Amino acid sequence: MKNTYSRSLSKKKVMSTDGMLIGMIKNILVDLDTGLVIDLVVKPDPTFDTGGYTMDGDRMFIPFEAVKDIKDYIVVDRYLSKK
Amino acid sequence: MKTQVTELFGMQVYTEKAIRVGEVDDLVLDVDGKKIDSLAVGNLNPELMELKGFRGVRIPYRTIRSIGDIVIVRHLSGAFKRTGVE
């Protein structure tokens, strides 16, 4: 089991499993009733094509289910990250 | 309901017996379980517990009653030095 402090995630880059830079993490959405982590709020990189992703203005939502691992980068599954 | 984690930072933490515990410093996320593991609470009430060499405590998420404008944790007798207001 791996635990991470949420503050340590800020300013981390989000990368997809095919090696593409998606963007920079801005926030995390949680459900306080169930205690589940729902989404990552990401500011997409200008070079990244946001087609197919859930957007709100210039912010992009990536379901936390897509997160593979968190070390120096946050690695998300390229298929699961679209919903 | 969805909440941004940054909204929780700085929130006051009280027990259900209305005793102040401290302030939310950070959230500990369980990455594999995709859930909140615990709240890291700092700026602690010195009458409740004494910490030597630590900045705060981690309160497991299962002991949290509810979160609104403040955080209310279940009162655990024995977990805190002082269990009531004299």
Q: How does pLDDT run across A27-74, given as a tens digit for each residue?
A: 999 999 999 999 999 999 999 988 888 899 999 999 999 999 898 999
Q: What is the average pLDDT across B59-65?
A: 92
Has residue A21 got a pLDDT over 90?
A: yes
pLDDT: which is higher, B10 or B80: B10
Closest residue in A to B34 (Cα) is: A37
For residue A1, the model assigns a pLDDT of: 55
Please, which residues bridge with residue B35 across strands?
A36, B30
- B31 and A39: CB-CB below 8 Å? no
> Could you tell me if residue A1 is inside a domain?
no
Has residue B49 got a pLDDT over 80?
A: no
In whole angstroms, give the CA distance from residue B65 to residue B18.
Answer: 12
Could you give the ipTM of this predicted complex? 0.84
For residue B84, the model assigns a pLDDT of: 42
Q: Tens digits of per-residue pLDDT, B3-43?
A: 999 999 999 999 998 999 999 999 999 999 999 999 999 99
CATH number at residue A34: 2.30.30.240
Confidence of residue A83 (pLDDT cuts 50, 70, 90): low
Residue located via tokens 């890291």: B40
- A31 and B1: CB-CB below 8 Å? yes
Candidates A6, A35, A36; nearest CB to B5: A6
> Could you tell me if residue A81 is inside a domain?
no
Tokens of residue A52, six digits: 């197919």
Q: What is the average pLDDT across B69-81?
A: 79
Query: Nearest C-alpha of chain A: how many angstroms from B45?
Result: 22
Written out in words, the top-level CATH class of the domain with range B5-81 is mainly beta
> Could you tell me if residue A82 is inside a domain?
no
Q: Is B5 on the interface with A (CB under 8 A)?
A: yes
Q: Is B29 on the interface with A (CB under 8 A)?
A: yes
Domain extent for A48: 6-76
Helices (H) and strands (E) in chain B, counts: 0, 7
Closest residue in A to B62 (Cα) is: A35
**Torsion sign (Cα): B36, A11, A47, A68:** negative
Q: What is the average pLDDT across B74-84?
A: 62
Chain A residue set in contact with B, beta carbons under 8 Å: 1-7, 9, 27-39, 41, 64-65, 67, 69-70
Query: Nearest C-alpha of chain A: how many angstroms from B38?
Result: 9
What is residue A20's DSSP assignment? -
For residue B86, the model assigns a pLDDT of: 37
